[in-house]
Amino acid sequence: MHVPDGFIDAPTSAATGAVAAVAVAVSLRGARRELDERTAPLAGLVAAFIFAVQMLNFPVAAGTSGHLLGGALAAILVGPFTGVLCVSVVLLMQGLLFADGGLTALGVNISVMAVVTTVVAHVLFRGLVAVLPRTRRSVTAASFAAALLSVPAAAAAFTLLYWIGGTTDVAIGRVATAMIGVHLLIGIGEAAITALTVGAVLAVRPDLVHGARGLRRRLRLRVGGELVDAREAAPAPAAPAGSHRPLWIAGVVTSLVLAGFVSFYASASPDGLEKVAADKGIDEKTREHATAGSPLADYGVKDIADARVSGGLAGIIGVGATVVAGTAVFWSVRRRRAADTSPAGTTAAAPTGTAGD
């Protein structure tokens, strides 16, 4: 759903850019409360994983494909504020290095793909886990539902922006019907990827899943024929520093494999926005990307003729650049939190609970 330059007029793009800037600033402040010494490096990994999986377009209808947006996944794994930053880092890397998503439309893309998806998914996810049984399965099921609905919500947000500042005269009802319809199908793929990823992390390190914190189920005992809550056990000791490294290494390797090798087999059909734009005529004033001459434009390495090698190298470079940029951002946020909360520059890790089976 990367919006190119020329879809939205300059005043609306500027206003949306201001909204995106405020959202990123608020997220930088909010992420200080979400990140600690264990989750800061994992947030960079989440950004790299989203970048990698976004290269894997999957078919959703005749001549149409979709790809992960990632807001729901990021919000559930590392928190909503950090999630906005994760997707924003991905969009920035894609726009600057790969000419994917217009630079004048960067505010539109951050607002739609980072802010809307993350906020909608977080609200739905928290509402569902509040009423479902307090188990890991419930967290996974809530992840599926939240991710599913976050994608058509983003499509609706784009439609609203197009209604306000679209550069072509197209009936907005036609755009809304087409956008929301195809992105509801794409949302099924988003939901499956999100639920599988969240479930996999829950299986090995539930303490690192932001959305599973505090979901430990209390033991109940039968006393005198009645069920009563058992006395709360002492919290489990925090995981030692560096215990996240095996998961981090596995995540980086997985991201490199997906972007460097599996991406070659992704669907070549246009994604949902591209297909709707071509069918409804909202792409008539699309402008060439400012970095169209980039050595990595269109996810290929310039002057390498072999498409498999070119695309694979571009994917590997993208994963590397994203994990470095993301980790630098989140470590900076983490260090700022430490400076704000302790004269000695340290802060205690927040206690966490884990979801029951």
**What is the per-residue burial (b if ≥16 Cβ within 10 Å, else e) of 86-103?**
bbbbbbbbbbbbbbbbbb
The model's pLDDT over 278-304, given as tens digits with 9 standing for 90+, comes to 999 998 899 999 899 999 999 999 999
Q: What fold is seen in the domain 10-217+245-341?
A: Arp2/3 complex 21 kDa subunit ARPC3 (1.10.1760)
The predicted model gives 158-164 an average pLDDT of 97
Q: How many helices, marked H, and strands, marked E, lie in the chain?
A: 11, 4
pLDDT score at 240: 57
The predicted model gives 257-270 an average pLDDT of 96
State yes or no: pLDDT of 352 exceeds 90: no
The model's pLDDT over 57-66, given as tens digits with 9 standing for 90+, comes to 999 988 999 9
Length of the chain: 357
pLDDT score at 338: 64
Average pLDDT across the chain, whole number:
89
Contacts (Cβ under 8 Å, ≥6 apart) of 259: 51, 52, 55, 312, 315, 316, 318, 319
The model's pLDDT over 307-318, given as tens digits with 9 standing for 90+, comes to 999 999 999 999
Please, which pLDDT band fits residue 226 given cuts at 50, 70 and 90? low
The model's pLDDT over 17-41, given as tens digits with 9 standing for 90+, comes to 999 999 999 999 999 999 987 788 8
What residue spans define the domains of the chain?
A: 10-217+245-341
